[in-house]
Amino acid sequence: MLEKEFYISRLISLQIKGGLTVEQETELNNWLAEKEAHRLFLEEFYDQEKFKSEIGHYLAKDKTNLWNKVIGNLDNPEVVPLKNKTLLLWSRFAVAASILLVIGIAIYFLNNHGRPVADHSSAYTNDLKPGSNKATLTLADGQTVTLNNRNTGVIIAAEKLTYNDGTAVIANHNGKTALRNERELKINTPRGGHYEAVLPDGTHVWLNAASTLTFPSKFSGRNRKVVLRGEAYFEVAKDKQHPFIVKADQQDVEVLGTHFNVNSYRDEPTVNTTLFEGSVRINGNTLLKPGQQANLYPTGQLVVSKGSNDVIAWKDGKFKFDETPLEVVLRQFSRWYDVDIEYPNGIPKERFTGYIDKNLHASDALDILKYTKIDFKIEGKKIIVLK
């Protein structure tokens, strides 16, 4: 019963306390070398702020049944693990908080039914790399420029168009960073790409994969208006005299200066706007407060609900899910790994809770999802979901 997982967890605990023998240190290093996911997991565990956050999450759960299921698997009586009922954090080895150890210990956790999931990563015939800095810039005359993937974003200011390291995106004959008198610019991220942009007014935008932002090279008139398809996080420059408006499908989001996220992918059932700071007005009449999310349905119905910081985990290099339907999880994978999803046996009803690092290859990410009791295989540019 999870002997290896609990043994590795004890090695990590000994490492924290400085009590590893040479042989144990070799064993731990060998485990870290097995998979990139193991190394990333340990880095995440040593992130104290993240770890404290996870402790709070666990302590908020019902611990009695979890104790009864897990305590029988521990040889070390000083460790008292807590476990969420669904997978939380990283691959086969998830993390739980310890009550009795002040520093804390990472232990590996049971799946929904208390049984380990076999490691099928070697069964993948090919793998898919994670997304990266990829985008194109389209000018008003139709010219398309492939943006440098060594940079993370572009800055549009006055008549200059530069990368965030100061180098020119489009240079004139003198090699200067001059931007021609463009009426409209469009930044597009493909599936498997993301990028940042600082707009002419100083607004900072993070574009998720498979997204397009259209905006003028210079804002004029009463409003600062942009058009979004896909998903983006905005930190809007304050200008009370010129409201900033994001048009996303049937929804107009009007702000003066604030931080918010808009998800308007065509394959999602609603257009979601989540507010983190300031205030926004949806379609001219619904005012959101920080911590709220507006969900706009195709029928035009607008429902306001409680928002979550999870929706912007993508901006910080994470997938984060909380009882999320597997179909929704895989739609995000489809955009990030530039892959199609096939369900030959129908769409499963399972849900998933947990963090997944976006730097993982697709095979490692899918190994994490196998805790839902669903298996997968990769064929070319397709992920096939097996029941």
Q: 36-45 vs 22-34: helix axis angle to the nearest 10?
A: 120
CA dihedral (322, 328, 330, 333) in degrees, to 10, reads -80
Q: Which residue has the tokens 């693990």?
A: 81
Question: Do residues 108 and 237 both lie within one domain?
Answer: no
Give the pLDDT of residue 123: 54
In the DSSP assignment, the letter for residue 20 is: -
**SS3 label, residue 373:** coil
Of 302, 300, 355, give the one whose Cα is nearest residue 91.
Answer: 355
Work out the angle between the directed axes of helices 36-45 and 362-369 (0-180°, nearest 10). 70
Q: Are 89 and 356 in contact (CB under 8 A)?
A: no
Task: Return the SS3 of 34.
Answer: helix
Predicted pLDDT at 140: 80
Residue 146 maps to a domain? yes
The last residue of one of the domains, among 311, 335, 357, is 311
pLDDT at 261: 97
Query: Do 90 and 111 contact (CB within 8 A), yes or no?
Result: no
Q: What is the dihedral angle through the alpha carbons of 307, 312, 313, 317, rounded to the nearest 10 degrees?
A: 180
Residue 85: per-residue pLDDT: 35
pTM: 0.71
| Residue 323 in domain | no
Q: Are residues 229 and 296 in the same domain?
A: yes
Q: Residue 179 phi/psi, 5° resolution?
A: -105, 125
* In a domain? residue 354: no
Tokens representing 158 are 């006055």
The pLDDT score that the predictor gives to residue 183 is 78
Q: Residue 97 has what pLDDT?
A: 33
User: Which residues are CB-contacts of 91 (< 8 A; sequence separation ≥ 6)?
Assistant: 35, 37, 38, 41, 364, 367, 368
Q: Are residues 139 and 26 in the same domain?
A: no
Phi, psi of 162 (to 5 degrees): -130, 160
Could you list the residue range(s) of the whole structural domain that residue 231 is in? 132-311
Last residue of a domain, one of 311, 332, 352: 311
Closest CA to 369 of 123, 32, 44, 120: 120
Q: Could you give the number of structural domains in the chain?
A: 2
Domain of 285: which CATH number?
2.60.120.1440
Domain final residue, candidates 116, 143, 167: 116
Residue 294, helix vs strand vs coil:
strand
Is 126 contained in some domain? no
pLDDT at 2 (0 to 100): 46
pLDDT value at residue 25? 84
Partners of residue 324 on adjacent β-strands: 352
Each residue's pLDDT, cut to its tens digit, for the chain (387 residues) gives: 345 666 777 777 777 656 678 888 888 888 888 877 777 767 766 665 455 455 444 444 444 444 444 444 444 433 333 333 333 433 334 433 333 332 333 333 333 233 333 344 445 667 899 999 999 999 888 889 999 999 999 998 867 888 999 898 876 544 455 565 657 899 999 999 999 999 999 999 999 999 999 999 889 889 999 999 999 999 999 998 999 999 998 899 999 789 999 999 999 999 999 999 999 999 988 999 999 999 999 998 999 999 988 999 999 999 999 889 999 999 999 999 999 999 999 999 999 888 888 999 999 899 888 878 899 999 999 999 997
Q: Are residues 278 and 155 in the same domain?
A: yes
